[in-house]
Amino acid sequence: MIDSREPRKPVPGGSTVRVQKTLTSAEELLRLSETGRYELVRGDLIKLPPASLAHGGTQSNADFLIQRHVREHRLGRVFAGELGVWLERDPDTVRAADVAFYARGRLPEGALPVEFASIVPDLVVEVVATDDAAGAIQSRIEDWLRAGVRLLWVAYVATRSVVEYRSLREIRVLTGDDMLDGGDVLPGFLVPISELFT
């Protein structure tokens, strides 16, 4: 399917740019995934820049902390590294989760398929780089929650804070010595937010 709109041009200081007007399906995006980091947002191909050291470190910390807890308590599966999750179809939206957790029994048994996840995670961690535009961040938040993510942690590297979403109305801002609490989504998980930013 051809999209007749003009592609977006690079924006100085911006973090995402629409780069191609002809890619409209998740299948086409999957073929491109070996050439860089992309998302597909209602048919628009969005190129994501490489992660900074601070972004990569925070993502790695979140993955380690969640992975350790999940494995110790056999709670399910954790994925990191921009896991592609198919959120909408026709036009397609595939968002990339920095870290995603699936409760035990939600994913099929056996070898994982070589395709984007079609099941929405229970928990998503998004790491926000300092140059991410507010509108792009809000769009990601709304897409995840509308798709059914039960718990969303948005980690802001610049302010060393986390905004926790259980819905667009259930929001907590965590700073300083506040604790990340997995609640009923990630039972028993309780970690100071400072551990994300070390």
Alpha carbon distance 130, 157 (integer Å): 7
Give the pLDDT confidence score for residue 151 in this predicted structure: 97
Q: Which residues of 82-109 are buried (b: 16+ CB within 10 A; e: fewer)?
A: bbbbbbbeeebbbbbbbbbbbbeeeeee
Alpha carbon distance 154, 176 (integer Å): 15
Give the pLDDT confidence score for residue 171 in this predicted structure: 96
Of 13 and 134, the structure prediction assigns the larger pLDDT to 134
- Answer whether residue 160 shows pLDDT above 90: yes
Cis peptide bond prior to 50, omega within 30° of 0: no
Residue 192 belongs to what H/E stretch?
strand 190-192
- Tens of pLDDT, residue by residue over 73-122, are 999 999 998 888 888 887 878 888 999 999 999 988 887 877 788 899 99
Phi, psi of 79 (to 5 degrees): -130, 145
Quote the pTM value: 0.80
In CATH terms, the fold of domain 53-197 is tt1808, chain A (3.90.1570)
**DSSP structural state of residue 105:** T
Give the pLDDT confidence score for residue 102 in this predicted structure: 95
pLDDT category, 9, cuts 50, 70, 90? very low
CA angle 154, 158, 159 (to 5 degrees): 75
Give the pLDDT confidence score for residue 134 in this predicted structure: 77
Range scoring the smallest mean pLDDT among 17-21, 61-65, 163-167, 188-192: 17-21
Range scoring the smallest mean pLDDT among 62-66, 68-72, 90-94, 143-147: 90-94
Beta bridge partners of 45: 20, 40
User: Six-digit token pair at 74?
Assistant: 């056999």
Phi, psi of 109 (to 5 degrees): -70, 160
H helical segments located in the chain: 26-32, 53-73, 134-147
Q: What is the mean pLDDT of residues 177-190?
A: 96
Alpha carbon distance 12, 156 (integer Å): 20
Alpha carbon distance 41, 25 (integer Å): 10
- Tens of pLDDT, residue by residue over 13-54, are 444 444 445 545 656 555 555 555 666 677 667 777 667 788
